[in-house]
Structure 1
Amino acid sequence: MRLSTWTVCPRARAARWERLWRALGLTAPLLSRLDELPRERGLALVDLSLLGGDALCAHRAKRPGLHVVACADVGAAPQVLSAALAGGALDYFDQGAPDDALEARLRAHLKRLFPSAKPPGLFSDDGLRLDARVREVHVRRGKSWKLVGGLSAREFDVLSVLAGAPGKAFERRDLLDRLGSDAVVEAVDKVVAALRKKLGTQGKRLKTLRGVGYLLAKA
C-alpha cells in the first residue's frame, strides 16, 4: 500500500512542514483548503487556522480514511489546540519544536496508521534505490547495487521528489521549492542534468516534458 500524504496550509507557512515530509523521504502536495483533500486514506499536516469550529469533524465525516495532525505557531492558544484534538486531530506540531522530535512523532503516526505501507523514506525498484534516512542512492549494476557518490543535497532532494511518484510529471516550480528560496528556475535544469550523469544508465529515466517539467519513468 502506498502512503498518501498532504500539507494543507498557506504557502508562506509551508516550508517547515514540507521539510519534515522530505526528511522522511515523502512528498506531500500543498493544498490551501481542507475541501481540496481527495477522498482517500492518508495523513495530512493541517494549519491550525483551518481547523476552527467543526471543520475537521465535517471533513472527516466525508473522508473516513483521513487522519490529521494540526500544525501550530509557537504560543498557540491552549483552548484552540484542545478543540482541534477534540475534533479528531491525532496530534499537534509546534513550530518551535526541533525537527528530529517532530520527525520521530510523524514516523510513529505513519507506522501505526499504515503498518503495511512501505516504510517512510525508502524507494526501491528494479534499477534504483533511495533511502532518505541516510540520504543514499544506489543503482543496479548487473546483479549488484552500487552507491552513487557525490550527490549534492539539492540533487538528492530533487531525486527524492521524483522517486516519490514514478511516472508523475512535476512542474519546475514544484521542484524549485525543494532547492531553497535563493534558487532560480534554471537551477532545476542544472540539477536534473547532473543527476542524469551521476545515475548512469538509470539517468535515462529522468524525462523532460517540454513546457511542464520532469518525471522519473517507471522501471
Structure 2
Amino acid sequence: MAETVLLVDDEREIVAFMRDALEDEGYRVLCAYGGEQALELLSRKPDVVVLDVMMPGMDGYELCAAIREEASCPILFVSARRSEEDRVLGLMAGGDDYLVKPFGLREFKTRIYAHLRREKRDRAASDRFLRFGRLAIDGKGREVRLGETEVPLTAREFDILLLLALHPSQAFAREDIYERIWGLEADGDSATVTEHVKKIRAKLSAADAACNPIATVWGVGYKWQA
C-alpha cells in the first residue's frame, strides 16, 4: 500500500510542484492550503507531513505543535526562512527536518524516503499486539482496549503507554520518557510527562477501576508493572 504524504502550503504552485514529484514516485498525496484544512486531513492518517512555515492565520510552528498532539508521523518543514533560529524553532515545535526553499527535487524526495524508511524500522519494533490480562495494546492500529471497551488516548499518551509496555519492569526517568516521545529539541520539561501519565491512568481507570499498569518509581519516574 502506498504511503500517504500530507502537503501543507498556502502557495498552490509549490504544492502542485511537490505533489507531482511525489505522485511520480507512487506516493498518495493529500494537499492542504492552511492550518485548519491540514488538521481536518489528519483523520486520513498521513505517513509524513510536509509543512511550510509562513502561512496566513496559523503559522507552520503553531500548526506543527497542534499536529504533534494528534500524530507522531515525521514532519518536514520546507521554508524560504533559512536562519539557524528558524531551524531551531522548527525542531522545537516538533518537526523532524527542515529543508530550505528553493530545493532540488532529488533531495526533497530522498528526505521523504529516508523519513519513511526510519518510520518503518521504528514500527517494526512497536507494531506488536500486547496483552496483559484484559488490557490489549495494538501497536500497529494504535488502539488500546480493556475487554470490549476502547480507551481513547491521544498520540502522545499512546506513545508513553506503548514505550512502558514494550519494556516491562524497566524504570524510565521522566526526562528519558520526555526525550524519547517529544524529542531532544522539544521546548518544555519532563513535568508534562507526569500530567500525561495522570491522564492515561484516569482513562484506564474509567474503563476498569482495577487497571493500573503504570507504577511510580519514586525519585526516578515510571515502569510497567502489569
TM norm. shorter chain > 0.5:
no
| Bin of the TM-score, shorter chain as denominator length | 0.3 to 0.5
RCO (CA 8 Å, sep 6+): is it higher in 1 or 2? Answer: 1
Q: TM-score if structure 1 supplies the norm length? A: 0.45
TM-score normalised by L of structure 2: 0.44
